[in-house]
Amino acid sequence: MTGTPRKLLTIVTEAALEGLLVKDFESLGARGYTITDARGKGSRGRRDAAWDENRNIRIEILCDAVVAEAIARHLEATYYEHYGMVLYVGEVLVRRAEKF
Amino acid sequence: MSPIDPVLLFFILGLTAGLLRSELRMPAAVYDLVSMLLLLTIGLKGGVELARQPFADLALQAVAVVAMGLLLPLVAFPVLRYLGRLPRADAASIAAHYGSVSVATYAVAVAYFTRQQVPYEAHMPFLLALLEIPAIVVGVLLARGISRDMRIGVVAHEVFLGKSIVLLIGGLFIGWAAGSDGLAPVKPLFFDLFKGVLALFLLEMGIITASQFGSLRKCGPFLLVFGIAMPLFSSVVGMLLGYALGLSPGGVAMLAILAASASYIAVPAAMRISVPQANPTLSLAASLGVTFPFNVLVGIPLYHAMTVRFLGSG
């Protein structure tokens, strides 16, 4: 497949942060995001999404390298210390590159 | 009449299933629906009654109850901080949980009072809604020495527009506006099904409570003792306040129960955002793992008996 290279930023974190993060993404230049409910296990134990305080979300953002770097730095500085958060970046090819 | 309310048997079933690591789980969306129904029902019931109360009485009760909501965390905080040697943020967060209220505990108390045929002020949900908020403000202020970058707008949004507050206040408003007759068409869903909905809710609460026991073991005996001692103390404060306000005996007992209950929905959500340093495992282990089952299984009849005795002697 042909396409334009973009970064796919994936963040898994506590659902409680959703409202704050969404605002951060927009101010840091992300043009869109996708949020799904998530379950799993990590260094902070099992998160089974059974009720509000135990819910996780997975956020995916397609953006260019500059925005991805800005978001990653901001999240690291703001939330890593006190919240459960995992972040990883992948290279992907997109069509309609002007959207991202 | 069987000696134990069937809704409590559902709670014990959930607790047992959780402890035995059964794979029983209520789907998250169903739990959401059931808790929404409970909050709305409680709001509606209170709202209908609100319209009949004289404004001056309500205002006095509102002020008194808010004062209690401010006071309880101020009592709990030094105990947690110095006796429990907890970090400041954790002490503040737990104190906020205990100053606020648990709607689930109130719902069980409603079921208990209905069964015992004890009348109480039906506008109690109004006081319940008021009691949710002040403790959160105190908790945030107590922790604030270490959290100066707090975003007040975000915290306020979390506090006033959290799910439980919106549904409770919304229900109160709808009940107040529609009145008893106006609500007749929706009565089958909200009022007639109350016990069944509560039973389902408590089944899941049992499972959630059991899941807190693991973290409780790691927290040590202090939180276990605090989780029982604090509601006992608060219930006396609530009872004395109810008496001073001239509530009916049932109302006095209900206020004791409200004071004794500890939040596990509104406060954890607000604290997670506004006091990130606080470990949510600690406060939930105490409020959900200890205080909620204690209040539901032992506390409600205990506070009721205590009130009867107090009013009998006075």
State the amino acid at position B256 in one-letter form.
Answer: A
CA–CA separation, B34 and B18 (whole Å) = 19
Interface residue ranges in chain B relative to chain A, Cβ cutoff 8 Å: 25-26, 28, 31, 151, 154, 157-158, 163, 204, 207-208, 211, 264-265, 268-269, 272-273, 276-277, 280, 284
Task: Identify the residue with better confidence: B300 or B57.
Answer: B300
Per residue in B151-182, pLDDT tens? 677 778 777 888 888 999 999 999 999 999 99
Chain B residue numbers touching A51 (CB-CB < 8 A): 28, 31, 204, 208
Task: Identify the residue with better confidence: B127 or B27.
Answer: B127
CATH 2.40.50.180, domain B6-20+27-313, yes or no: no
Q: Average of pLDDT values for B59-69?
A: 96
Subunit contact B28:A83, Cβ cutoff 8 A: no
Chain B residue numbers touching A50 (CB-CB < 8 A): 25-26, 28, 31, 204, 207-208, 211
User: Are the C-beta atoms of residues B99 and B66 closer than 8 Å to each other?
Assistant: no
Subunit contact B211:A16, Cβ cutoff 8 A: no
How many CA within 13 A on the CB side of residue A45? Answer: 11
Subunit contact B284:A20, Cβ cutoff 8 A: no
Q: Average of pLDDT values for B286-311?
A: 95
CA–CA separation, B23 and A64 (whole Å) = 43
pTM of the model: 0.89
CA–CA separation, B290 and B275 (whole Å) = 22
pLDDT category of residue B195 using cuts at 50, 70 and 90: very high
State the amino acid at position A93 in one-letter form.
Answer: L
What confidence score (pLDDT) does residue A45 get? 64
Chain B residue numbers touching A83 (CB-CB < 8 A): 276
What confidence score (pLDDT) does residue B277 get? 87
CA–CA separation, B22 and A52 (whole Å) = 21
CA–CA separation, B275 and A81 (whole Å) = 12
Asked whether the predicted pLDDT for residue A95 surpasses 80, the reply is yes
Angstroms from B286 CA to nearest CA on chain A: 14
DSSP A28-92: TT----EEEEE-EEETTEEE--SSGGG-EEEEEEEE-HHHHHHHHHHHHHHTTTTS-EEEEEEEE
CA–CA separation, B115 and A86 (whole Å) = 49
Of the given ranges (A73-77, B10-14, B24-28, B89-93), which has the lowest mean pLDDT?
Answer: B24-28
User: Are the C-beta atoms of residues B67 and B131 closer than 8 Å to each other?
Assistant: no
The angle that helices B221-244 and B88-99 make with each other, rounded to 10 degrees, is 40
Closest residue of chain B to A17, computed from CA coordinates:
B273
What confidence score (pLDDT) does residue B151 get? 65
Q: Average of pLDDT values for B227-253?
A: 96
Two tokens at B314? Answer: 């006075």
Q: What percent of chain B has pLDDT over 90?
A: 70
Chain A residue numbers touching B204 (CB-CB < 8 A): 50-51
Two tokens at B258? Answer: 């409200």
What confidence score (pLDDT) does residue A54 get? 73
Chain A residue numbers touching B39 (CB-CB < 8 A): none
Q: What percent of chain B has pLDDT over 70?
A: 97
Q: Which phi and psi (to 5°) does residue A75 adopt? A: -65, -40
Asked whether the predicted pLDDT for residue B314 surpasses 70, the reply is no
Asked whether the predicted pLDDT for residue B1 surpasses 80, the reply is no
Per residue in B104-151, pLDDT tens? 999 999 999 999 999 999 999 999 999 998 999 899 889 876 555 556
**Among A33-42, B158-167, B183-192, which range has the highest average pLDDT?**
B183-192
List, in order of start, the domains of chain A with CATH numbers: 4-99 (3.30.70.120)
Asked whether the predicted pLDDT for residue A49 surpasses 90, the reply is no
For the sheet with A56-63, list strands across it.
Answer: A34-38, A56-63, A4-14, A85-94
Q: Which phi and psi (to 5°) does residue A61 adopt? A: -130, 125
What confidence score (pLDDT) does residue B144 get? 76
Strands A56-63 and A34-38 turn out to be antiparallel
Residue ranges per structural domain of chain B:
6-20+27-313
Chain A residue numbers touching B276 (CB-CB < 8 A): 79, 81-83
Q: Is B216 helix (H, G, I), strand (E, B) or coil?
A: helix
CA–CA separation, B9 and B107 (whole Å) = 15
Asked whether the predicted pLDDT for residue B203 surpasses 80, the reply is yes
How many cross-chain Cβ pairs, A to B, lie less than 8 Å apart?
42
